[in-house]
Each structure stands twice: as structure tokens, then as C-alpha cells.
Structure 1
Amino acid sequence: MDTFFIAHGSVSMVVDETIPERSFLQSWKSDTMPETPKAILMISGHWDTDVPSVNLIHGTNDTIHDFTGFAEFFYQLKYPAPGAPHLAQRVKELLDTSGFGPVKEEKARGLDHGAWVPLMLMYPEATIPICQLSVQNGKSAEYHYNLGKALAPLRDEGVLIIGSGNVTHNLEAVGPNDGPIPKWASDFDTWFKDALLNGRYDEVNNCEKAPGMKINHPTPDHLFPLHVALGAAGNGAKATLIHHSWTNSVISYASYRFTAAQ
């Protein structure tokens, strides 16, 4: 299976038809991923921990409403996808044996909005088992890439690996949806796209040194899911840009597909 990095937006994307990525996610099964995975491993920028952690859920994943300032309607939304305890144990096994452990099991944590908002549009039936894996803000991009490499065997086991975040993510600088895109945001987005599409993964994995990194990512949590997905595609993987749009002037919705080398 290919791996993916999907840009996620605020919870309003569930109903706001003016957000361009909404239609892209809704057409996911017909245009991007017609094969139904056995399970999905989501790496979300909204779960940051000191050590790699998985939510090992027997039964149904809770829907975490980790946002404020929205209408009551949004706090009633549910995405009751089943947990994937066997996948969680497999992730733990792969990471522990690769030197990333001990991996922590979270048996009460559900899905944050970085996971369930895009999944609600991609797989609205909520029938595919979901496991979520955390990122570590205190680690590097290269660490997350290597962590992803340890998860590569999952692709041959029918597991869809999705990183959920944003290539640019400075919430202090957000503006109107139709506002101009500042140069520091567009330049960083273009730098990342060029590096990925031309296979300059050494630069991607050292993005801490990239021009504009700090202003685009005051904290790197929304970028590291990309590195996990890229690493999980294996050495020599090919990156493809599958969607690109902007919201709030500074939030890139660039989304990528990573295809393993043949």
C-alpha cells in the first residue's frame, strides 16, 4: 500500500463547502484510494507525547473534541470507528524491536480532530478499524522518518498509513480564507514541494534548517506526521502532490502520496 500525508483543517471542514480540500477528501475512495484497507494507522499532529504512544482500544474509538470557540453542533459530532487493538500491538512490536520503545499503550484515548475530521469525509461509514500513533515534538524530523521506516511492514499487511498535519502551520498568523498568502508561507510550501517531488529527502529530513521553518512551524507537531508517512514508504519512495490549496492565508493544504520503489 502507498502511504499518505493529508492536510487537515479545523472541524468546520466537515460542513464548510468553501474549503477546497473538502471535495478532495470526499472523493478519496473513488479517485485516490479505491482499495479498502484492513485497518488505518493515523499519525496526527494533535497528539504529542514524550515517547511513542498508541491508542489500544477494544470497542469503539471515542471522538475527542479538542477545539474551542465553535458552535454546539460541532461538539455533537461523532466518528464511532472501531479500535484496532491488534494493529496497536503490531505497531508497538515493530517500534519496540527497532529501538523506539518502550511504546506506551493508551487504553482510554480516542481520536483527536486531526484524525477524525479528515476520516469523516474520507470514510464516512466509520467501519474501518483505526489506531492512532503520537508524535514527539522533542525529537527531530529524521527521528520521525526513521520511526516511519520501522512501520513499513504494515503496508504489506493491508494497513493504510496516513500522516495528518500541515506543511505550514502558524496559527498566530491566520487571516481570512481569501487573504493574500505571505511570502514566508508560500516560499516554505514551495521549498518542501520541490524537495519532495525531486527526491531530496535528506533536505526534508533536515527541515529544521530550512529557510522559514520557525515562522511556519513554531512547534513542529503538524509537520512530523509527513516524515512518518514518508519513512513508511521505504527507501527510494516517490512523492506525488495529490492536492494543493490554502485557507486562512497561511495554512497550506498540500497533501502527498508516497509510492514505494518497485
Structure 2
Amino acid sequence: MENDFKHVHVDKKRGVDHGTWVPLMFMYPEADIPVCQLSVQTDRDGTYHYNMGKALAPLKEKGILIMGSGATTHNLGTMQPDGSPVPSWASEFDSWLKNALLEGRYEDVNHYDSRAPYGKKAHPRPDHFYPLHVAMGAAGENAKAELLHHSWGNGSLSYASYRFTAAK
């Protein structure tokens, strides 16, 4: 692993949070796989988390799935009842992110807070967005993003799901 990622600490007292167990509940309902959850570092930036993913990338060759779970927009202060119209700022950020991912502009995504429209409004705190950066980095620089699912909840929460496949 790269120098920044040599010091890893294990907390055996803390279980996995909903960002891990909810997707795994659907993917592996028997809970018959080993799981290692990583914590994002909210005092770091998108590039740091992208590099974290790059450091983890060799694990894929051993059959290890690297998954990021969060939300493409996550501003809880703007939530509305389900079925509410999507605010323009959320839609604009979500569209920007989709285009950036599908076009392979990962450097732009790493700097979303300064390059995306409404980046800081879409993510006042980056903890639900940085898992995407880890997944991007783990996939590799020339990986292709594919939109698997898209829906909205509570007006402003985008539940877009992407898969990254290694370039051939």
C-alpha cells in the first residue's frame, strides 16, 4: 500500500453501519461472506479517497469485491416527503456527476466541491460521497462507469448506482 495508507487501525467493538449491511443484505442475504468495512476520512479530500481505492485495487485480483455505498446527493436538511419535486440544484449536481462518471472525468469528480454545480449543497458533509471515490480509484484510471439504477427519494436524495469495470 502507498505511504499514506500504512497505518490502519481495527475497531472490533464497532459493528458495520447501514451503508454496509443494507446493500449486503440484498446481495448476500445469507451473510456468508467475510466483510471488512473502511471508514472515510472527512478531514481529507476526494483525491485522498481515490488514492485509497488505488491502494486497494490489487485486492480485486484475489477475488475481493470493493464496494462503495453512499448517496449521489445527501443533504438531509433539504429532505421533503417522498414524491416531492426534485430541486434544481440536486438535479443539476446529479446530472453533472452522471456525465463526469460516464465520460471518465474522475479528476473532476475528485474535485467536485469546486468543479460541480452545487457540490457543497449536494454534500454539506462528504461522508456519504467519498465511498464513490474509493470505488473509482479501485476500478483504475481507465475504468468505465455504468449507471445501473437511478431514483429519487425525499425530494433531494439521489439513489444513483454505478458499476465500474476495468478497461480492457
Q: TM-score range by the shorter chain?
A: over 0.9
SS of match in other structure, 2:21? helix
Conservation of the 8 A alpha-carbon contact between 1:141 and 1:208: no
Q: TM-score w.r.t. structure 1 length? A: 0.62
SS of match in other structure, 1:159? coil
Structure 1 unaligned runs (5+)?
Answer: 1-93
Once the two structures are superposed, residues 40-95 of structure 1 have per-residue CA deviations (whole angstroms, 9 ceiling, x without a partner) of: xxxxxxxxxxxxxxxxxxxxxxxxxxxxxxxxxxxxxxxxxxxxxxxxxxxxxx3x
Number of aligned residue pairs = 167
Conservation of the 8 A alpha-carbon contact between 1:142 and 1:205: yes
> What letter is aligned with 2:73?
T
Matches within 5 A, 1:222-233: 222-233=128-139
Shift of 1:101: 3.1
> In structure 1, how many angstroms separate the alpha carbons of the residues matched to 2:94 and 2:138?
22
> What letter is aligned with 2:91?
S
Structure 2 unaligned runs (5+)?
Answer: none
Q: 1:145 is matched with which residue: 41, 50, 59?
A: 50
Matches within 5 A, 1:21-32: none
Shift of 1:99: 2.6
Q: 2:32 is matched with which residue: 106, 116, 127?
A: 127
Shift of 1:113: 1.0
SS of match in other structure, 1:99? helix
Conservation of the 8 A alpha-carbon contact between 1:237 and 1:259: yes
> What letter is aligned with 1:235?
E
Q: 2:64 is matched with which residue: 128, 140, 159?
A: 159
> In structure 1, how many angstroms separate the alpha carbons of the residues matched to 2:68 and 2:31?
18
Structure with greater helix share of residues: 2
Q: Which residue of 2 aligns with 1:201?
A: 106
What's the Cα RMSD here? 1.0
> In structure 1, how many angstroms separate the alpha carbons of the residues matched to 2:35 and 2:91?
33
> What letter is aligned with 1:228?
V
1:215 maps onto 2:121 in alignment: yes
> What letter is aligned with 2:70?
G
Q: TM-score w.r.t. structure 2 length? A: 0.96
Matches within 5 A, 1:74-113: 94=1, 97-113=2-18
Deviates further, 99-108 or 240-249: 99-108
Matches within 5 A, 1:236-255: 236-255=142-161
Structure with greater strand share of residues: 1
